[in-house]
Structure 1
Amino acid sequence: MIAVISDDFTGAAEIGGIALRNGFSVTIDTCVNKDYTCDVLVIATNTRSLCKTEAQKQIKDVTEELLKLGPDFIYKKTDSLLRGKIGDELDVQLAISGKKKVLLVPANPSMNRTIVNGIYYINNIPLMESDFFGNEFDKGTTSNVLDMIGGDYKDQSFSVSLGQKIPQEGFIIGNTPTNEDLMGWANVIDDTMLPAGGASFFNAILKKIKKEKDLKKIPLLFGKKALYVCGSNHLPSREVVKKVKEDGGSVLYMPESIFCKEDYQQTIDDWAGEISVALEKKDKVIIAIDTLDCDDVDDIPFRIKEIFATVIKKVLARVKVEELLIEGGATAYSIIENLEYKKFYPEQELAQGVIRMRIEQEKEMFLTLKPGSYQWTESIWKF
């Protein structure tokens, strides 16, 4: 069995889709149990949203529990843009695993996310100059990958190209200008290394282990009632939702003044009621964020996730929904945690990163996840 630790829920789902693509059976769980019969086990954490201390503790605990299962190896799934506590998590996992070095390959050239001579580029523009999620990095961070994984680890990190001598210890970050480099790095892995990085690197590793099967494509038999939860701040995603609303689709934005009222629970109840009524009238409903009156409110991202999680639970108690589709890893984790869903079985990779799954605790509803920076596939986005 191959084990994977992901730092967010949509990343875990993406890994699950890649395992399916390569002919592996896969289970996604939110904690480590004992009895698994799958080829690939993915543990979905929420460490990207945690502080350093909490993130490291969770990675330490999960790594120790996975090692007891005796996996062939453990892959650390990171964000392809190196957001989150990359260095902090890898440092503690490296120590627990007893490995000498990390081979970190986060780039995804097929999406124009490349690393060349230690500089991260998106669409051929240095990442920090592209303003693509730039506000999610610490002030002063450059597009140099040695800065991006955290200043505390710069002295033990190295930017290396294929063919160059690899240091004996530390964090080795692979330059990856092309898709072919991904397979090159997969061939470099040995027993002294902790492999880590994005979904594309994991795909290359699985291709090395086992050739793709001639898999039969499962037809998408989409359920009648579908609720879309769009929790991403990514501008292209928000524009897609706006276009649906302009075209007459059923879109209910989070109430703008939801944080301004002392009794905001009543506002949440009212919004949940509106969503439930909309679902009774329409087969597809979107809930999303537009503008919020957030003056003097602390920790807006956390509050938004909390409200989405609360509203979804209330709606699902009132209306039978056959398809729940969630955009954004932190939003997804908050929702499934509130619903007490723990174990998932990916069934279809609808597009890269867009994964449809069965839920062990809810047999009559499918869950589809998508990272905020990816695009919905047309097969499920028709209003």
Structure 2
Amino acid sequence: MIAVISDDFTGAAEIGGIGLRNGFTVTIDTSVNTDYDCDILVIATDTRSLCKTEAQKEIKKVTEELLKLRPDFIYKKTDSLLRGRVGDELDVQLHVSGKKKVLLVPANPSLNRTIVDGVYYINKIPLMESGLFEDEFDQGCTSNVIDLIGNDYKEQSFSVSLGQEMPCEGFIIGNTPTNEDLMGWASAIDETVLPAGGAGFFNAILAKIKKEVKSNTFNFGKKALYVCGSNYTPSREVVRKVKEAGGSVLYMPKAILCEENAERLIVEWSEQISDAIEKKDKIIIAVDTLVCKDLKVLSERIRETFARVIKKVLEKVQLEELLIEGGATAYSIIEYLEYKKFYPEQELAQGVIRMRIEQQKEMYLTLKPGSYQWTESIWKF
């Protein structure tokens, strides 16, 4: 069995889709247990949104528990753009696993995300000049991958290209201008290495041990709720276009996070959503512009509100499909609903994964990272 630790839920789902693509059976869990019958076990954490101490504590615990299952190897799924606690998590996992070095390959050339001479590029533009994600990085951060790992790890981090001699210890960040480089880095893994990085690198690793891929029929359910919780601007524009075209979009009420009697507003909004689903079958709920000067943790409250509303909707409507965009949003919702174990069945597109839920067998859950695209097979309004 191959084990994977992902720092967010949509990343875990993406890894599950790659497993399916290569013919492997996959189980996604939010904690480590012992009753698994699968080729790939993915543990979905929410460490990307935690502080350093809590993130390291969680990664240490999960790594120790996975090692007891004696997996063939453990892969650390990081954000492809190196957001979150990448250096902090890898440092503690390296220590617990007893490996000497990390081989970190976060880039994915198939999505035009490349690393050349230690600089991260989006569509051949340096990451911090691309204008797409600057709000999600610390102020003053550069496009240099060693800077992105964090100041605490600069002395032990190295940007290396294929063909160059690799350091014996530390964090080795692979330059990856092409897909062929991904395959080359996959061949560089040995028993001294902790492999880590994005979905593209994991796919290259699995491609070397690929199994026969079984066909799987896709029948999308009638009643579907789309939860668009990403603050990624192009993603919000896609929702806005559906709204402008007359599609069924219900934005979160602007007062719901600021008024003292939020429960009343949550009940009212959930009733509107339930009624809309009964009438129109496919509904999008999303965030438009929410401003509340007195609220310090706006993003957390937004995720909490989505979770509470969805629970009330599910008490009134039998959904066949729940589709969630954004890893932190997804984790908050499944935690609130007490869903823990998932079985990926279809990779509908890169990063768009549909799966069965152990605790709710009548409904499918589909996840998508905020910066990825919905597939036309399900995004039809």
**Which of 229, 232, 247 is the aligned partner of 2:230?**
232
Q: CA deviation at 1:253?
A: 0.1
Q: CA deviation at 1:214?
A: 4.5
> Could you say which residue in structure 2 is the equivalent of 1:215?
214
Does the 8 A contact of 2:52 with 2:88 survive in 1? yes
Q: CA deviation at 1:127?
A: 0.3
Higher mean C-alpha deviation, range 236-245 or range 368-377: 236-245
> Could you say which residue in structure 1 is the equivalent of 2:121?
121
Separation in 1, partners of 2:313, 2:238: 23
Matched residue SS, 1:120: strand
> Could you say which residue in structure 1 is the equivalent of 2:321?
323
Q: Deviations over 1:242-290 (max 9, x none)?
A: 1111121111000012222111111111111111111111110000000
Does the 8 A contact of 2:94 with 2:102 survive in 1? yes
Matched residue SS, 2:172: strand
Separation in 1, partners of 2:180, 2:214: 23
Matched residue SS, 1:28: strand
Separation in 2, partners of 1:219, 1:36: 24
Q: 1:47 to 1:214 in 2, by over 3 A?
A: closer
Does the 8 A contact of 1:117 with 1:175 survive in 2? yes
Give runs of aligned pairs for residues 1-383 of structure 1, distance below 5 A. Answer: 1-208=1-208, 210-216=209-215, 218-383=216-381
Structure 1 residue identity aligned to 2:222: K
Moved over 6 A (4+): none
Structure 2 residue identity aligned to 1:68: K
Separation in 2, partners of 1:207, 1:67: 24
Identity over aligned pairs, percent: 77
Structure 2 residue identity aligned to 1:332: A
* Contiguous gaps of at least 5 residues in structure 2: none
Separation in 2, partners of 1:212, 1:37: 16
Q: CA deviation at 1:375?
A: 0.3
Matched residue SS, 2:4: strand
TM-score (norm 1): 0.98
Separation in 1, partners of 2:40, 2:345: 13
Structure 2 residue identity aligned to 1:304: I
Q: CA deviation at 1:132?
A: 1.8
Does the 8 A contact of 2:303 with 2:329 survive in 1? yes
Does the 8 A contact of 2:22 with 2:213 survive in 1? no
Q: CA deviation at 1:212?
A: 4.8
Does the 8 A contact of 1:107 with 1:113 survive in 2? yes
Q: CA deviation at 1:148?
A: 0.1
TM-score (norm 2): 0.99
Structure 2 residue identity aligned to 1:66: L
Q: CA deviation at 1:131?
A: 1.9
Separation in 2, partners of 1:340, 1:259: 23
Structure 1 residue identity aligned to 2:202: F
Matched residue SS, 2:377: helix
Structure 1 residue identity aligned to 2:252: M
Does the 8 A contact of 2:257 with 2:302 survive in 1? no
Structure 1 residue identity aligned to 2:164: Q
Structure 2 residue identity aligned to 1:325: L
Q: CA deviation at 1:347?
A: 0.2
Does the 8 A contact of 1:232 with 1:327 survive in 2? yes
Q: CA deviation at 1:293?
A: 2.4
Matched residue SS, 1:5: strand
Structure 1 residue identity aligned to 2:96: I
Separation in 1, partners of 2:217, 2:236: 28
Does the 8 A contact of 1:21 with 1:212 survive in 2? no
Q: 1:160 to 1:377 in 2, by over 3 A?
A: same
Does the 8 A contact of 2:322 with 2:365 survive in 1? yes
Structure 1 residue identity aligned to 2:21: R
Q: 1:34 to 1:212 in 2, by over 3 A?
A: closer
Q: Deviations over 1:33-92 (max 9, x none)?
A: 012110000000000011111100000000000000000000000000000000000000
Q: Deviations over 1:197-217 (max 9, x none)?
A: 000000000011x1352432x
Q: Deviations over 1:148-167 (max 9, x none)?
A: 01110001000000000000
Structure 1 residue identity aligned to 2:190: D
Does the 8 A contact of 2:24 with 2:211 survive in 1? no
Does the 8 A contact of 2:4 with 2:76 survive in 1? yes
Does the 8 A contact of 1:107 with 1:200 survive in 2? yes
Separation in 2, partners of 1:95, 1:376: 38
Matched residue SS, 2:257: coil
Structure 1 residue identity aligned to 2:307: A
Separation in 2, partners of 1:316, 1:287: 14
Q: CA deviation at 1:319?
A: 0.7
Separation in 1, partners of 2:174, 2:312: 46
